[in-house]
Structure 1
């Protein structure tokens, strides 16, 4: 085993949790399930593994829950891996970790890992750049930044290094579940767009100075440019760019559904939320904050 603790945030993940735990139980010294009171068999399954420790905490948001885990879990390893229940490490990444992690220079406190996107059972390669995320870090050297959406691990000190092996995001739920989840995401993404445009919280203005992965920072700066483009036109243009210019159409029916749903439908829904809020409040920041609290229970 490697000197790694894995933190997995769960709520009703019985469809994924066994696959995830089977994948990492032979690699990590400890696996911390931070559960927000699941009502399915998630915890029953997790209790079958000797190196799994279960903690429960009320859900606020992903970043707050993860940081709570860092503070309250009895972590005794040098490294922490953030993993979602619907994710797993590829054999190539597991081998790379075994070969490189024990002798890695102390100057590296974070490890950036490439993401393999799996949708409806198909790996999607074209239409989007390879996503690389800081998911592995030395204990005490990083926390999750506090955001409503698109939160990343942020280093407090040290440098990052990139590994080549991928981890996979492979959700097994059906499209109805996927769509409903993205309806929930849309309001948070809309608030993020409004924050960039109108400086609702001030957090978006400090993005370029954060010590997150280089690609995550570049993606966020592109998001700032995207937020300046006209509503609805930008989501259509984004889909065309991904599907035609970045060759998303070569990924078959699964690729079409992925780029249409995630690149156009979802982005259009975000714009619809922005339009709704602006129609009710204009660009009055205080009025927008009151509207978000009243209609979506979001406090800024």
Structure 2
């Protein structure tokens, strides 16, 4: 067992929570399920495990919830792992953690892990670059950056090191659930892109100076470039790039659905939200803020 605490944020995750807990209970000293008042069997399942501590807090956004967990969970370990309920560590990664963490130099305070994307039961390899995320860090050395969308763990001190093996994002919900979730994501992504263009919150201005993983920073800078491209054309071009030029078409029917839904449909919906907001507000930042508050309950 490693000197690791796992923080799992939950809301109605009865489909995933057992798999997630079972996956890490052999390597983690502490497991914290930080719930925002689930109404399904999430907490009933989590209470079946002796080494799971349950905390509850009202949801604001992912970043705020995770930072609340860091402040309020009675963490007694050297390392903290952020893991979503629909994620799990591969057997190879667990072995790598057991081999490397006990002897890891103190100069490394964060560990970057590759992500395995699983969609409709199929691992999607082509069409997108290998995603690497800072998910494991020494307690007290990192927090989540505060933003509506695409938040990352940000180091306060020290350096990161990359490990070889993957953790998996493997959501078991159906496509209706997936679509509804991305409808919710779309307005936050739209605000993120408008923030780059109009400096709504000031968060985007500081992107280049944040100590997040190198790939996350590179991705963030590409988003800044994407934000400058024409509405709707950019979502179509992005899909074509992924599906044809990056060989997404070789991933079969699952790959088509993934790249079409996540790379074109979702991105077009984001642009539609931006079009809606600009049509109502023009380039007036204060009008945008009021519109977002009145229509989407997003306070900036």
TM-score range, shorter chain: over 0.9
Separation of aligned partners in 2, 1:287 and 1:43: 41
Question: 1:59: how far off?
Answer: 0.4
* 2:214 corresponds to 1:214: yes
1:263 maps to which residue?
263
* 2:27 corresponds to 1:27: yes
2:126 maps to which residue?
126
Separation of aligned partners in 2, 1:206 and 1:59: 25
- The equivalences for 1:119-268 within 5 A come to 119-268=119-268
- Say which SS state the counterpart of residue 34 (structure 2) adopts: strand
Separation of aligned partners in 1, 2:225 and 2:128: 17
- Say which SS state the counterpart of residue 31 (structure 1) adopts: strand
Question: C-alpha deviations, 1:191-220, integer Å up to 9, x for none?
Answer: 001000011111101100000000000000
Separation of aligned partners in 1, 2:196 and 2:146: 15
Separation of aligned partners in 1, 2:165 and 2:50: 27
* 2:275 corresponds to 1:275: yes
5+ residue gaps, structure 2, are none
Separation of aligned partners in 2, 1:200 and 1:6: 34
Question: C-alpha deviations, 1:148-180, integer Å up to 9, x for none?
Answer: 000000000100000011000000000000000
Question: C-alpha deviations, 1:67-102, integer Å up to 9, x for none?
Answer: 000000000000000000000000000000000000
Separation of aligned partners in 2, 1:29 and 1:248: 40
Question: 1:260: how far off?
Answer: 0.1
Separation of aligned partners in 2, 1:259 and 1:65: 30
1:45 maps to which residue?
45
Separation of aligned partners in 2, 1:167 and 1:281: 42
Separation of aligned partners in 2, 1:110 and 1:16: 26
1:295 maps to which residue?
295
2:11 maps to which residue?
11
Separation of aligned partners in 2, 1:165 and 1:258: 23
Question: 1:48: how far off?
Answer: 1.1
When the two structures are superposed, what TM-score results if normalisation uses the length of structure 1?
1.00
5+ residue gaps, structure 1, are none
Question: C-alpha deviations, 1:9-41, integer Å up to 9, x for none?
Answer: 001100000111110011100000000011111
Question: 1:50: how far off?
Answer: 1.3
Separation of aligned partners in 2, 1:125 and 1:282: 40
Separation of aligned partners in 2, 1:42 and 1:180: 20
1:286 maps to which residue?
286
Q: List structure 1 segments (4+ residues) > 6 angstroms apart after TM superposition.
A: none
